[in-house]
Structure 1
Amino acid sequence: MQRQAFRFFHPMRVRWAEVDMQKIVFNAHYLMYFDTAMADYWRALALPYEASLQALQGDLYVRKATLEYHASARADERIDVGLRCSRIGNSSLLFEGGVFRGDTLLVGGELVYVFADPATQTPRPVPELLRSVLQGFEAGESMLDIRTGSWDTLQAHAGPLRTAVFVQEQGIPAELEWDADDASALHAVAFNRLGLPVATGRLVRQADGAARIGRMAVLPLLRGAAVGRAVLDALVEAARARGDRQIVLHAQRCAEGFYRRAGFAAQGDPYEEAGIAHITMARTL
């Protein structure tokens, strides 16, 4: 099993509590490592697990899990857990995994899942849509469809996302969330391969002619999976295409690093907006 065989990796650091009296990772914890990586694999597919399986009218159950030990991981070591969907049967999915320290394979594993009726746990055929998503990911295809358009076109998708993130999660009053800029803004919504909206943002032209990106919202379960970056990049490209020379945004301080990695630089001092710490950031096109 070679590291190069995997497209997906979940990085981890061995914790002290996972080491046994031999000062190596206790053997059973490797199953936990693979299960933790599986949750991140679904993020890479842009599929929030519960909502996606409900849409597919089924659930996944482990049928068999096997491990093969080659070497040991030790406390505080950095490891990478690779996963790939290597076979899709009528109702079963075979995932192969490897725990690597650098290029060295420590533990190999196989996980067999069965797609089944969640009420009776009786097997069902793997839906063609799920089959397509898994095969597409392993083939290197994008898991997102970014659509841009007017508020009239995308409100039904962007609105619930913004309500969930800003009003319900962050506690921003609803009357502050909705404003007149929505009507004139260019909106972007990211859809996963099941057609579910998972992230949104908007591009507003200010009175001074500068472009402003805002209302960036990503489903919590998919944060850290480059979904927000895909929406941001789409809005930046839209601004560049229409001739904008500079983009500004009001970044929440907790997201400042995200925007820095996208080429934005902080301007001025932090301030509060809707009770949340922000800082103005800008990028020249």
Structure 2
Amino acid sequence: MNRSEFRFFERLRVRWAEIDAQKIVFNAHYLMYLDTAIAAYWRALALPYEQTMHALGGDLYVRKATLEYHGSARYDDQIDVGLRCERIGNSSILFRGGVFRADEALVGGELVYVFADPATQTAVPVPQPLREVLNGFEAGRPMVDVRVGDWRELGRDAQAIRTAVFVDEQKIPAELEWDVADAGAVHAVAYNRIGHAVGTGRLLSHVPGVAKIGRMAVSQAVRGSGVGRAVLEALMAQARARGEREVLLHAQASAASFYTRAGFSPRGPMFEEAGIPHIEMVRSL
């Protein structure tokens, strides 16, 4: 087992509560590490787990979990948990896992899930859309498709995401979220590979030569999986196509590092919008 067998990794750090009297990670915790990585794997697929299973009419149940120990992790080690979907049967899915400290393989694992009817917990065939997502991810295909259009085309899906993120989660008053600018803006919505909207943003004209990106929102369950970056890149591509020389945005302070990684620079002091600290950030195109 080596790292090159996996294209997906979740980085974890060993906590004090996870070591035993031998001062190494207690053996059962490696199953928890694999399970934590499985949750991150679903994020990488841009599939909110509960919503996805409901749409597919089933759920996944563990049939078998095995571990093989080669070495031991210790307190405060950084470990990388690799996962890959190795085989999809009629109703079963086999995931192969590996726990690594740098390049050292510590533990190998195998998780077998069965797709089943939640009401009866009887096995049913793995739905074709789920097969395609899993195989597509392992083949390195994009997990989201970003569509660009106007409010008439994309408003329904954009509104649902923005309501969930800004109104429900961040408690921004609805009357501050909705404005007349939506009607004339260019909107981008990211859809996962089973057709669910998971991210959105909009592009406005600011002053000649400068565009403004705003209302960037990603469904909570898939944050950190590249959805926001895909939406941002789509909006910047639209700005370039219009001949804009610069794009600006008002970033929530908590998201400033995300925009910094995308090439934006802060400009001016911090300020408040809708009771949330923001900073203006700009990028040349």
Q: TM-score range by the shorter chain?
A: over 0.9
Are the aligned partners of 2:79 and 2:101 in contact in 1 as well (CA < 8 Å)? yes
Aligned partner of 2:258 in structure 1 is 258
Does residue 231 (structure 1) correspond to residue 231 (structure 2)? The answer is yes
Aligned partner of 2:179 in structure 1 is 179
Aligned alpha-carbon RMSD (Å): 0.7
Are the aligned partners of 2:209 and 2:245 in contact in 1 as well (CA < 8 Å)? no
1:100-249 equivalences under 5 Å are 100-249=100-249
1:238 CA displacement: 1.1
1:209 CA displacement: 4.2
Aligned partner of 2:12 in structure 1 is 12
Note the residue ranges of structure 2 that are not aligned, 5 or more in a row: none
1:142 CA displacement: 0.6
Any idea what the Cα deviations from partners look like across 1:5-40, whole Å, max 9, x if unmatched? Answer: 101000011111100010000000000000000000
1:120 partner letter: T
Note the residue ranges of structure 1 that are not aligned, 5 or more in a row: none
Partner Cα separation in structure 2 for residue 156 and residue 182 of structure 1:
12
Matched residue of 1:108: which SS? strand
1:172 partner letter: I
1:185 CA displacement: 0.7
Matched residue of 1:263: which SS? coil
Any idea what the Cα deviations from partners look like across 1:173-216, whole Å, max 9, x if unmatched? Answer: 11111111111110000000010000000000124441000000
Aligned partner of 2:97 in structure 1 is 97
1:248 CA displacement: 0.5
Partner Cα separation in structure 2 for residue 209 and residue 220 of structure 1:
33
Matched residue of 1:206: which SS? strand
1:241 CA displacement: 1.5
Moved over 4 A (4+): none
1:186 partner letter: V
Partner Cα separation in structure 2 for residue 251 and residue 208 of structure 1:
21
Are the aligned partners of 2:209 and 2:243 in contact in 1 as well (CA < 8 Å)? no
Aligned partner of 2:283 in structure 1 is 283
Are the aligned partners of 2:69 and 2:106 in contact in 1 as well (CA < 8 Å)? yes
Partner Cα separation in structure 2 for residue 81 and residue 109 of structure 1:
10
TM-score calculated relative to the size of structure 1: 0.99
Partner Cα separation in structure 2 for residue 278 and residue 229 of structure 1:
19
Partner Cα separation in structure 2 for residue 13 and residue 238 of structure 1:
40
1:22-61 equivalences under 5 Å are 22-61=22-61
Sequence identity, in percent?
Answer: 67
Any idea what the Cα deviations from partners look like across 1:214-265, whole Å, max 9, x if unmatched? Answer: 0000001111111101100111111111110000100000000000000100
More displaced stretch, 199-208 vs 93-102 = 199-208
Matched residue of 2:140: which SS? coil
TM-score calculated relative to the size of structure 2: 0.99
1:267 CA displacement: 0.5
Query: What is the aligned length?
Result: 285
Partner Cα separation in structure 1 for residue 274 and residue 124 of structure 2:
48
